[in-house]
Structures are given as structure tokens and as C-alpha cells.
Amino acid sequence: MAPPELTELQQAQLEVWVKPAAWAYHAQLPEEQRVNIPRAFQVYADLRLVAADVLETACLDASKQAAGSSGGVKRIKIDGELEVEKFAATNTASVDADTWCAQAARLRAEVSQGQRGGLIRSPLAGIRTGSSGGPAFTITRRGEL
């Protein structure tokens, strides 16, 4: 059974977290390298983790492209009089890859903190207490820790 497609709102949220450049980069990858977004959402049930997968996929490919195209240092020496060194410019794919990997890490950390933090429900919440002849009340918890 195929996973259901994302709604328009979910798709929009995903595109915001991924950012346009990474989204476009991911879209141009061969299909077998792209993240299966509906399947990933079905597994994770959190769009931030799906966005992190998309960002990491784009990051990995951009890193490979940057590594393959680094020119290194070029040196020209003419009869010992003139010596010119040219350094390869920073590859934009490398900068993009670093940015996308950092964003993916931030999203994963945000999800992780959200699962650990927040309001921890009391194990007693919802239990009705009181004596047989006295008033009954329900233990509830309000506010943050």
C-alpha cells in the first residue's frame, strides 16, 4: 500500500523548512537518490524530520560535487622572474552543502528537544480521589515545569 500524499499545507511547511535552493537541488536529483517524501512522513510522522532527510540528501550530493570539482592551487612560473599562484575559489556547492547539513542538524535537534522537553504529565493526573463520604476531586496539572 502506497503512503498517502502530503496535503497542500504539509507540502508548504516542508518547502519552508527545506528552503528553495535545497528544494530545487533535491528535485533535480535522479529519482532513485531523492527522498520518498510520503514514505518518510509515514515513518517519521514529523515534517521536520522529513525536511532534515531532504536537506541531508541535497547536502550529500552537493558535497560530492564540490569534492569532485575542487581545482586546488595553480602555480605558474616563468623563467624564475614571474611567479603567480592562483587558488581555486570556494565552490558554491560546498557552501550550500555545509548550510544544508547545518539546517538538517538544527531540525533534528529541535525535534529531539521537543520530545524530551515540554510539559511532563504527572502519572497521577486524571485519578479521582476522596473518601467514601467526602468530596471527590481530580488531580490535574497546569503550567510548565
Query: What pLDDT, in 10s, does the model give residues 61-116?
Result: 888 887 765 555 555 556 666 555 555 555 566 677 888 888 888 888 888 877 66
CA distances from 137 to 8, 125, 129, 130, 142 (A): 44, 11, 6, 7, 15
Say if residue 31's pLDDT is above 90.
Answer: yes
Which residue(s) pair with 78 in the sheet? 82
Mean pLDDT, the chain, rounded, equals: 74
How, if at all, do strands 137-138 and 128-129 pair? antiparallel
Instruction: Compute the distance between CA of residue 143 and CA of residue 94 in angstroms, rounded to an integer.
Output: 45
Q: What is the pLDDT of residues 11-29, one digit of tens each?
A: 999 999 999 999 999 999 9
Residue entry with cell 624564475: 80
Instruction: Compute the distance between CA of residue 10 and CA of residue 128 in angstroms, rounded to an integer.
Output: 40
For 75, phi then psi, to 5°, come to -125, 135
127-130 long-range contacts (CB < 8 A, ≥24 apart) are none
For residue 144, the model assigns a pLDDT of 45
For residue 135 the three cell numbers come to 468530596
